[in-house]
Chain A
């Protein structure tokens, strides 16, 4: 497909600029461009067709089932976008005086209040632009906390071997070294291994609960107590919050700091449709270290407070991705407390329904036939017996009009497919998908070769992933 720069005609113009009605300023030649700016020269029809064509080459949650495990690709209600389009939210400038954007600040305050009550935290900051950014920010809070107490020897972050890859990466970015601890045979944190790993050098421990196997850590209180008794802090990765909203709270489990993914749990656009938002919540003892400015209320007026000598500083320009927060707030207000709880219950129900229908066909190594909001299939046997890998299976699903599940994660399951249906799928869709999964499994055994060249119906078959990673071409050169 051609780029927008490669279509159209040099003399074609689509000027929508009004006539200039102010005196034209004379700019010194040294500030002027030497070369003409290379802009697309296309008509409105061409633009419209170009982007429609692009959209038809991609796959989103509006196109079909999208069970990308740990990513919570739930439907994004259109009312969220309607709210975000309101001129009072959309047509503002980040440098406007605070007294002219009281409604926008109120959005932050309300979202903070609701998210704190969902997570059991005492404060929430909306600067981080995505999940990993939230992790980095949360870890910096832990770093600042120990520093402030002159406890400077704490430079290690412990993560389980089932952790999201971003956890150790964020810890390393924040200046810590990482200790990996193994999971038990049942897929839980090995409490004894954790006990042996903690010590005077422990800065903190990162965990997502339910964990990446899709199981709720049964010994969560013991886990957080072990870390606290060793003087460390506990970090909750909110990637899997969609399983427990209104039912269990990270704050009650003993976590000191959390990040949430509004683009997962709270139904704001995800992936290419971003931007995301990864707010960080914390308990009282970490509030002084939160990024500034904080939004405070003084005599009924909301204002920005830049003052905090202990703050880790800004982590993003201005105040985070505001319109994403508007969408998340719209979602929370539409559903209400009871609705959010129902969403989590149905997310868990849908995952268990799929698991139950698939468990006699597929190997599902953890959970004994039960899960939270997601479950992990292992295709190791299929790979051994028929040379059909998780990748082959996933690619073939594309021909069924289904986005594949997360592959090869968590690392402790070989040939993993991690399935997260979310609560926004109907029973009919789930049944259809279950039938596809079983059909493909049978085909993999009877005609394994037919899964090696797939997909056959998508605009791109199998891209050269290795070539793309080794020699990426990241920009367009016009000449």
Chain B
């Protein structure tokens, strides 16, 4: 599996494009738990995100949940398609990235795919 792909305990994924740039989204498990999403709140280009702190929120018919950043850095791009089509996350969570982060200065506690799969089995 991809060496560049990592996960968090709070069910986000982060795919590194290079050492200091990465895309961030929520996991297949997270979208399954949330159910159909009806609204996604995203940060803006240029915003700072901090590892372990909330940068977005997702609303399903059940509840609103925070999305936590796996890394610290600056938002380089935002997937604006999600604003009009939150269902993209339900269709393919690993493809439906939320933000692209550059100038990554710090990483939070990241899990490998194997470690993450173990976590969600528990």
Mark contacts of B42-83 with chain A using CB atoms, 8 A cut-off: 1 yes-contact digit, 0 otherwise. Answer: 000000000000000001011111100000000000000000
Determine which of B61, B63, B66, B86 lies in contact with A465 in the assembled complex, contact meaning CB atoms within 8 Å. B61
CB neighbours of A411 from chain B (8 A): 63, 65
Cα separation A112 to B64 with both chains bound (whole Å): 35
Which residues of B lie under 8 Å from residue A469 when comparing CB positions?
38-39, 59, 61
Contacts of A180 in B (CB 8 A): 66
Interface string of B22-49 (1 = CB under 8 A from A): 0000000000000010110000000000
Please report the C-alpha to C-alpha distance between residue A470 and residue B88 in the assembled complex, in whole angstroms: 13
CA distance A411 to B62 in the complex (A): 9
In the complex, how many angstroms separate the beta carbon of B63 from the nearest chain A beta carbon? 6
Q: Which residue of A lies closest to B33 (CB)?
A: A414
A180 to B36, CA, bound (A): 24
Contact residues of A between 149 and 192, Cβ < 8 Å to B: 165, 180
In the complex, A407 Cα to B62 Cα: how many Å? Answer: 8
Query: Which residues in A have their C-beta under 8 angstroms from that of B66?
Result: 180
Q: Which of A355-413 contact B (CB under 8 A)?
A: 407-409, 411
Decide if B63 touches A409 in the complex (CB within 8 Å). Answer: yes
Chain B residues with Cβ under 8 A from A465's Cβ?
Answer: 36, 61
Contact, CB under 8 Å: A466 / B64: no
1/0 per residue, CB under 8 A from B, across A220-247: the answer is: 0000000000000000000000000000
The answer to whether A466 and B63 have CB atoms under 8 Å apart is: no
Task: List B contacts of A470 (CB < 8 A).
Answer: 38, 86-87
Nearest CB in chain A to that of B39: its residue: A469
Min CB gap B47→A, angstroms: 14
- A contact residues around B64 at 8 Å (CB): 165
Whether A165 lies near B36 (C-beta < 8 A) is no
Instruction: Collect the chain A residues with CB atoms within 8 Å of residue B63's CB.
Output: 165, 408-409, 411
Q: Are B62 and A466 in contact (CB under 8 A)?
A: no
Closest CB of chain A to B19's CB: distance in Å?
Answer: 31
How distant is the Cα of A411 from the Cα of B38 in the complex, in angstroms? 18
Nearest Cβ on chain A to B121's Cβ, whole angstroms: 11
| Whole-angstrom distance between the Cβ of B54 and the nearest chain A Cβ | 8
Closest residue of chain B to A471, judged by CB?
B38
Q: Please, which residues of chain B bring their CB within 8 A of the CB of A165?
A: 63-64
The answer for the CA separation of A409 and B87 in the assembled complex, in Å, is: 23
A300 to B66, CA, bound (A): 54
Most chain A CB atoms below 10 A, which of B63, B65, B86: B63
* Chain A, range 453-479, C-beta contacts under 8 Å to B: 465-466, 469-470
Complexed CA–CA distance, A408 and B65 (Å): 12
Least Cβ–Cβ distance between B108 and chain A, in angstroms: 16
Bound together, the chains give a CA A386 to CA B12 distance in angstroms of 27
A262-288 CB mask vs B (1 if < 8 Å, else 0) is 000000000000000000000000000
Query: Which of the listed residues B36, B65, B86, B87 has the most CB atoms from chain A within 10 Å of its own CB?
Result: B36
Measured between beta carbons, the chain A residues less than 8 angstroms from B61 are: 465-466, 469
Contacts of B39 in A (CB 8 A): 469
Binary per-residue interface labels of chain A (175-212) against chain B in the complex, 1 for a CB within 8 Å, 0 otherwise: 00000100000000000000000000000000000000
Chain B min CB distance to A385 (Å): 15
A79-120: CB near B (< 8 Å → 1, else 0) gives: 000000000000000000000000000000000000000000
Residue of B whose beta carbon sits closest to that of A389: B35
- Give bound CA distance, A155 to B86, whole Å: 31
Contacts of A466 in B (CB 8 A): 36, 38, 61
Separation in Å of the B119 CB from the closest CB of chain A?
A: 15
Are B62 and A408 neighbours in the complex by a CB distance under 8 Å?
Answer: yes
User: Nearest Cβ distance between residue B68 and chain A, in whole angstroms?
Assistant: 11
Residues of A near B87 (CB, < 8 A) are 470
- A391 to B: closest C-beta gap in Å: 8
* Assembled-state Cα–Cα distance A466/B66 (Å): 19
How many whole Å from A213's CB to the nearest CB in chain B?
16
For the complex formed, measure the closest distance between the CB of A474 and the CB atoms of chain B, giving whole angstroms.
Answer: 15
Which parts of A388-445 form the interface with B (CB within 8 Å)?
407-409, 411
Closest B residue to A409 by beta carbon equals: B63
Bound: A71/B87 CA distance, A: 31
Closest Cβ neighbor of B90 among chain A residues? A466
B52, chain A: closest CB distance, angstroms: 12
Residue of A with least CB distance to B38: A469
A470 to B64, CA, bound (A): 15
Query: Could you name 9 residue pairs across A and B whose Cβ atoms are closer than 8 Å?
Result: A180-B66, A409-B63, A411-B63, A411-B65, A466-B38, A466-B61, A469-B38, A469-B61, A470-B38
Interface residues of A (CB under 8 A from B): 165, 180, 407-409, 411, 465-466, 469-470
Known contacts A180-B66, A411-B63, A465-B61; 18 additional CB pairs below 8 A are A165-B63, A165-B64, A407-B62, A408-B62, A408-B63, A409-B63, A411-B65, A465-B36, A466-B36, A466-B38, A466-B61, A469-B38, A469-B39, A469-B59, A469-B61, A470-B38, A470-B86, A470-B87
Q: Which 9 A-B residue pairings sit nearest by Cβ, starting from the closest?
A: A469-B38, A466-B36, A408-B62, A465-B61, A470-B38, A411-B63, A466-B61, A408-B63, A469-B61
